[in-house]
Chain A
Amino acid sequence: LAKTTQPISMDSYEGQEVNITCSHNNIATNDYITWYQQFPSQGPRFIIQGYKTKVTNEVASLFIPADRKSSTLSLPRVSLSDTAVYYCLVGDKAILTGGGNKLTFGTGTQLKVEL
């Protein structure tokens, strides 16, 4: 199971782009990279998922280099409401082996956005 490492906290200001990098040196061939957002006392919310290169949706972009040993979540023009904890997850082999969905969350990155 690939372990992930991400910064404990980051600070930013409204309107700036925020990039949160996650290291996952032991990522397996069939693993996917997923990011979640969590507000206090709420369940995490799925943001974006990718396997390689770049994925973009209406909320964020995910950049994954060719070696897949790291990934970067990019949040364009953050606002105060983006203050939350962001988790990087690397999924277990699941589809091919039928081993289920054993996803491990770390402690995440606390992003604080100020005016």
Chain B
Amino acid sequence: EAQVTQNPRYLITVTGKKLTVTCSQNMNHEYMSWYRQDPGLGLRQIYYSMNVEVTDKGDVPEGYKVSRKEKRNFPLILESPSPNQTSLYFCASSLSPTAGYTFGSGTRLTVV
């Protein structure tokens, strides 16, 4: 089944403790992206990647890192999480720049 898999689904952590949210897609998609969703603010893009080793900032990249060492994986790294990064995070992948994105099921992160 074609899908985007994120892990974990839920995560509670403490301020400053580094964490990684994994994202993997099995569709051989070139493009991958991370979004965060907050009440009243909609979905905001954090980072996106056009291919292996090619990444660029979205609208809200501060406090996040990404890497794209393999085509199928696009992990989101929070080096020093803070409470304002408490949010619902979505990973997505796409075959081409203007094709529709396939989204993962989301990761609900709470930073205390």
Taking each of A36, A43, A46, which has the highest tally of chain B beta carbons within 10 Å of its own beta carbon? Answer: A43
Q: How large is the interface on A (under 10, 10 to 19, 20 to 34, 35 or more residues)?
A: 20 to 34
Bound-state Cα–Cα, A46 to B102, Å: 7
Q: Which residues of the other chain, A, contact B43 by a CB distance below 8 angstroms? A: 44, 87, 105
Q: Which residues of the other chain, B, contact A43 by a CB distance below 8 angstroms? A: 4, 90, 92, 103-106
Q: How large is the interface on B (under 10, 10 to 19, 20 to 34, 35 or more residues)?
A: 20 to 34
Bound-state Cα–Cα, A104 to B101, Å: 12
Q: Say whether chain B's binding surface is mostly helix, strand, loop, or mixed.
A: strand
Q: Which residues of the other chain, A, contact B105 by a CB distance below 8 angstroms? A: 42-43
Q: Which residues of the other chain, A, contact B35 by a CB distance below 8 angstroms? A: 105
Bound-state Cα–Cα, A101 to B102, Å: 13
**Which of B11-19, B44-52, B74-82 touches A?**
B44-52
Contact across chains for A101 and B100 when beta carbons are under 8 A apart: no
Number of A-B contacts (CB under 8 A): 75
Cβ of B41 within 8 Å of any chain A Cβ, yes or no, is yes
Interface string of A76-115 (1 = CB under 8 A from B): 0000000000010001101100101111111110000000
Contact across chains for A101 and B42 when beta carbons are under 8 A apart: no
Q: Which residues of the other chain, A, contact B102 by a CB distance below 8 angstroms? A: 46
Interface string of B49-78 (1 = CB under 8 A from A): 110001010110000000000000000000
Given A103-B33, A103-B101, A105-B45, 10 other A-B contacts at CB below 8 A? Answer: A34-B100, A42-B103, A43-B90, A43-B105, A44-B43, A46-B102, A100-B56, A101-B33, A102-B56, A107-B40
Which 3 pairs of residues, A with B, have the shortest CB-CB distance? A43-B103, A46-B100, A94-B97
